[in-house]
């Protein structure tokens, strides 16, 4: 975006430096958390294959952060346009409720026969369409009616869990079919399936934003919506697309959550996940004010949050103070990424660059 | 073109609002938006319910199968045929929603308020408001930490402390039966929501028994929020510790967490019910099935079918009779083989209503 007149290699180096400071601070934080674990629990990095599946704390962290990571991808785009979507948890609940209710698992204990009402893949497709519509609804409120993003998505955040409860009739319907639990609990080549889903979403969003002009358009809308409109960008449609993608991501995450617990819990599925997703985006280096965004930074941010949660469980932190410990670490990570520390990094970086020009990057 | 889009959007919005409104009325009359519910209940509740007893019930949420069964039992007992007009409010496990619901009950001037608090503390103001409004309050299933007994007429539900003690006693009997009492025994515990009476009292009761034996160590204890997902996640983390192989017993404060833990234990390549003895509280059908299948060992019943009891208590109060301050429900304990006076799960699975 910036330096449009500068020589090509200058742009390149500027870009790389940006990516590095954002990315490295996140990676350092993640590494510190993992290192802490290693000291406390020497077997933390041990990975073995149990029941034909990779097994270990690291795998747990990646596997458990799948829903947060998927949602935070959509959230990154929304935040890049200067908005925020706090309805993602509710949309995930709707999507999970849809898919489980549509499949309609029935077990007759007398005959031992299980029946389902609908093909699983069709149910998934419908749930994804519904969540995409939810996202588009948010997008319309924000882009066409000009409602503030926080308020516009608050509507669905409040109403969404009610809708999910209506779909599930206030119950927790369950689906115990092999196919359905495979989505989150199965494995392909010993790697849990959820990891493939998350990776696919990250790669698709990355490709869509960085290989096409879409990412640049998002950033330009986030930096200055009216300036981009004057330069011929349809800012409204860009926003609409971002919210729609966010809804779709929430839908995918909702199905994953439903598959993990083999049921749809309208009240608890994706509870507070919007906060985790926003935190992941911010930890990844994207500013809440919009503008530049970092897909891989967000992915690292999501990993940090889950690494922290898993650490807290394995450390045996008393349940009463979990949130205090969590927030303390978040404060430290955010401070690590603050300008003061960043400048310090840059100074060290430039010093080492002077000594070894090429090797530093 | 723009006008058409604006018109379509306005229609969609209006339609959406109507749809939401209908939804709200069907599921819960007073969950947060008190203005809408006031209007709707004023017409149905106040005027044409000449001889119906209006009861406002604020439920915790629908966090588990147990809670769902509890809700269903209350909705089925307090029907119009039985002479009740029930205003049901789902608290979605949030205290502020429950407080809003309780205040709207006061405004609506219901005859009785029945209430299952999501956490123990922080109810003092709203409970005093109910007292000032002179509406009899019945605590269902859970309690508050307010020591003032004049705030409520009666409390009905399970003795959570006793459940913890019974679970502990059964575990001791199990360990003695397996000959494991000679060495050190490591126990893992999945706690309920922090601050909930069901979690605090079960934990205290269980610990009381375990503290009598020096070789027993409740080494792992963490909250699983009474949900399957959290139970699974926390158990996964327990099993990753270097000393996880020493875990012999898992005590989960409810069925759902135990079911999540079973999935985690299976994923770790260990046999739930054999390598790790699993005991939980509640006694839903799913847990019974697990015991029959050998994946779990024991369950302490916590009876959710409180609807009939609640109806009886209200009818007694209506007739001017005295009721006890505490009404405990009758509860049993079930396991695979009938150890230490427990009933056999296989014999009773078909009677389970939930």
- Nearest-10 Cα torsion for B62, A170, A103, B231: 0
Please check whether residues B167 and B296 belong to one and the same domain. Answer: yes
Domain boundaries, chain A: 26-316
**How many angstroms separate the CA atoms of B348 and B329, rounded?**
18
Please check whether residues B108 and B164 belong to one and the same domain. Answer: no
pLDDT digits 0-9 by tens, B230-255 = 899 999 989 988 788 889 999 999 99
Least CB–CB distance from A55: residue in B68, B221, B268: B268
Q: Based on the structure, what is the number of domains in chain B?
A: 2
Residue B9, in any domain of the structure:
no
What CATH code is carried by the domain that includes residue B206?
3.40.50.2300
Task: Name chain B contacts of A319, Cβ cutoff 8 Å.
Answer: 191, 194, 222-223
Q: With residue B122 as reference, give the H or E element that holds it.
A: none
pLDDT at residue A110, rounded to an integer:
66
pLDDT digits 0-9 by tens, A268-280 = 888 889 999 999 9
What residue in B sits closest to A164 (Cα-Cα)?
B23
CATH, domain A26-316, list 3.30.2220, 3.40.50, 1.10.4160, 1.10.3470: 1.10.3470
**How many angstroms separate the CA atoms of A311 and A309, rounded?**
5
CB contact under 8 Å between A53 and B267, yes or no, is yes
Residue B46, in any domain of the structure:
no
Q: Which of the residues A50, A97, A313, A323 would you substitute to probe the B interface, choosing the one with the greatest number of B C-beta atoms within 10 Å? A: A313
Which structural domain, as residue segments, surrounds residue B198? Answer: 160-302+332-351
**Ordered DSSP codes for B40-91:** HHIIIIIIS-SSPEEEEEEE--S-SHHHHHHHHHHHHHS-TTTTEEEEEEE-
pLDDT at residue B1, rounded to an integer:
56
Residue B15, in any domain of the structure:
no
pLDDT digits 0-9 by tens, A170-204 = 777 888 888 888 988 888 888 899 999 999 999 99
Please check whether residues B293 and B317 belong to one and the same domain. Answer: no
Residue A164: strand, helix, or coil: helix
Please check whether residues B185 and B125 belong to one and the same domain. Answer: no
- The residue among A331, A303, A345, A358 whose CA lies nearest residue A19 is A345
Please check whether residues B149 and B224 belong to one and the same domain. Answer: no
Residue B18, in any domain of the structure:
no
Q: How many CB atoms lie within 10 A of CB B43?
A: 9
Q: With residue B247 as reference, give the H or E element that holds it.
A: strand B247-252
Strands B298-301 and B247-252: unpaired
**How many angstroms separate the CA atoms of B46 and B107, rounded?**
11
CB contact under 8 Å between B9 and A140, yes or no, is yes
Angle, CA A241 vertex, CA A240 and CA A244 arms, to 5°: 85
CB–CB of B280/B296 below 8 Å?
A: yes
Please check whether residues B174 and B99 belong to one and the same domain. Answer: no
pLDDT digits 0-9 by tens, B154-185 = 888 888 899 999 999 999 999 999 888 888 89
Query: Encoding tokens for residue A332?
Result: 């430290």
Q: Classify burial at B127, counting beta carbons within 10 Å of its beta carbon; exposed 0-12, middle 13-18, buried 19 or more.
A: buried
Residue A46: strand, helix, or coil: coil
Residue B6, in any domain of the structure:
no
pLDDT at residue A109, rounded to an integer:
64
Please check whether residues B262 and B219 belong to one and the same domain. Answer: yes
Query: Encoding tokens for residue A200?
Result: 């696919």
pLDDT at residue A7, rounded to an integer:
47
pLDDT at residue A269, rounded to an integer:
86
Task: Name chain A contacts of B346, Cβ cutoff 8 Å.
Answer: none
Residue B141, in any domain of the structure:
yes
Q: Classify burial at B212, counting beta carbons within 10 Å of its beta carbon; exposed 0-12, middle 13-18, buried 19 or more.
A: exposed
Give the range among B39-48, B59-68, B172-181, B322-331 with minimum mean pLDDT.
B39-48
Residue B26, in any domain of the structure:
no
Please check whether residues B289 and B311 belong to one and the same domain. Answer: no
Angle, CA B206 vertex, CA B296 and CA B336 arms, to 5°: 25
Please check whether residues B170 and B239 belong to one and the same domain. Answer: yes
Residue A187: strand, helix, or coil: strand
Residue A196: strand, helix, or coil: helix
Please check whether residues B231 and B280 belong to one and the same domain. Answer: yes
Residue B28, in any domain of the structure:
no
Q: What share of chain A is helix, strand, coil (3-state, %, to 5)?
A: 70, 5, 25
Q: How many CB atoms lie within 10 A of CB B295?
A: 20
Question: Per-residue confidence at B32, pLDDT binned at 50, 70, 90?
Answer: very low
Please check whether residues B173 and B318 belong to one and the same domain. Answer: no
Query: Encoding tokens for residue B142?
Result: 């859970």
Q: What is the CA radius of gyration of chain A?
A: 22
CB contact under 8 Å between A319 and B222, yes or no, is yes
CB contact under 8 Å between B228 and A265, yes or no, is yes
Please check whether residues B235 and B285 belong to one and the same domain. Answer: yes
pLDDT digits 0-9 by tens, A102-132 = 988 877 666 767 778 888 899 999 999 999 9
* Residue A293, min C-alpha distance to chain B (Å): 31
């Amino acid at each position: 975006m910036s330096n449009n007149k500068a020589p090509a290699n200058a742009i390149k180096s500027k870009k790389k430096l940006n990516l590095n400071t954002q990315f490295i601070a996140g990676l350092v934080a993640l590494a510190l958390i993992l290192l802490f674990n290693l000291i406390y629990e020497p077997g933390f990095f041990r990975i073995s294959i149990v029941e034909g599946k990779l097994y270990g704390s690291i795998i747990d962290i990646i596997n458990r952060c799948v829903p947060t990571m998927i949602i935070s991808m959509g959230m990154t785009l929304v935040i890049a346009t200067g908005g925020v979507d706090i309805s993602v948890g509710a949309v995930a609940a709707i999507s999970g409720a849809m898919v489980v209710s549509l499949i309609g698992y029935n077990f007759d204990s007398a005959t031992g026969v299980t029946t389902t009402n609908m093909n699983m893949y069709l149910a998934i497709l419908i749930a994804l369409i519904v969540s995409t519509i939810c996202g588009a609804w948010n997008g319309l409120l924000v882009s066409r009616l000009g409602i503030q993003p926080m308020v516009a998505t608050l509507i669905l955040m409040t109403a969404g869990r009610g809708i999910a409860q209506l779909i599930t009739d206030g119950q927790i319907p369950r689906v115990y079919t092999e196919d359905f639990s495979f989505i989150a609990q199965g494995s392909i080549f010993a790697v849990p399936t959820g990891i493939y889903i998350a990776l696919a979403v990250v790669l698709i969003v990355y490709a869509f934003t960085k290989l096409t002009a879409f990412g640049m358009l998002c950033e330009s809308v986030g930096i200055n919506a009216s300036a981009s409109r004057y330069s011929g960008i349809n800012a409204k449609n860009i926003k609409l697309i971002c919210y729609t993608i966010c809804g779709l991501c929430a839908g995918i995450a909702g199905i994953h959550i439903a598959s993990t617990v083999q049921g749809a819990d309208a009240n608890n599925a994706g509870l507070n996940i919007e906060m985790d997703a926003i935190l992941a985006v911010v930890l990844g280096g994207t500013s809440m004010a919009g503008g530049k965004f970092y897909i891989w930074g967000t992915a690292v941010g999501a990993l940090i949050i889950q690494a922290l949660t898993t650490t807290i469980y394995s450390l045996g932190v008393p349940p009463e103070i979990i949130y205090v410990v969590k927030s303390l670490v978040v404060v430290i990570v955010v401070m690590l990424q603050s300008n003061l520390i960043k400048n310090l990094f840059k100074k060290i970086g430039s010093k080492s660059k002077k000594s070894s020009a090429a090797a530093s990057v | 073109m723009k006008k058409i889009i604006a018109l379509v959007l306005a229609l969609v919005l209006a339609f959406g609002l109507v749809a939401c409104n209908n939804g709200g009325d069907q599921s819960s009359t007073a969950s947060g938006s008190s203005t809408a519910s006031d209007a709707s209940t004023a017409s149905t509740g106040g005027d044409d319910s000449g001889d119906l007893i209006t009861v406002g019930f604020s439920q915790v949420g629908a966090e588990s199968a147990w809670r769902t069964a509890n809700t269903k039992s209350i909705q089925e007992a307090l029907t119009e045929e039985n002479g009740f007009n029930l205003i049901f409010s789902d608290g979605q496990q949030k205290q502020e929603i429950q407080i809003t619901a309780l205040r709207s009950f006061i405004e609506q001037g219901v005859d009785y308020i029945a209430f299952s608090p999501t956490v123990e503390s922080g109810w003092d103001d709203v409970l005093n408001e109910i007292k000032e409004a002179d509406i009899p309050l019945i605590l269902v299933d859970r309690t508050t930490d307010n020591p003032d007994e004049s705030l409520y007429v009666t409390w009905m539900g399970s003795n959570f402390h006793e459940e913890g003690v019974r679970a502990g006693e059964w575990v001791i009997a199990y360990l003695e039966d397996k000959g494991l009492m000679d060495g050190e025994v490591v126990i893992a515990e999945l706690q309920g929501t922090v601050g909930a009476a069901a979690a605090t009292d079960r934990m205290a009761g269980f610990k009381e028994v375990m503290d009598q034996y020096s070789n027993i160590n409740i080494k792992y204890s963490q909250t699983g929020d009474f949900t399957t997902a959290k139970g699974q996640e926390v158990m996964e983390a327990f099993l990753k510790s270097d000393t996880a192989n020493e875990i012999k017993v898992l005590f989960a404060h409810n069925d759902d967490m135990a079911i999540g833990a079973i999935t985690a234990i299976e994923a770790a390549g260990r046999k739930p019910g054999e390598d790790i003895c699993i005991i939980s509280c509640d006694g839903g059908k799913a847990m019974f099935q697990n015991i029959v299948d050998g994946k779990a060992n024991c369950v302490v019943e916590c009876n959710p079918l409180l609807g009939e009891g609640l109806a009886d208590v209200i009818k007694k109060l209506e007739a001017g009779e005295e009721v006890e301050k505490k009404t405990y429900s009758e509860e049993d304990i079930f396991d695979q083989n009938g150890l230490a006076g427990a009933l056999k799960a296989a014999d009773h699975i078909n009677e389970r209503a939930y």
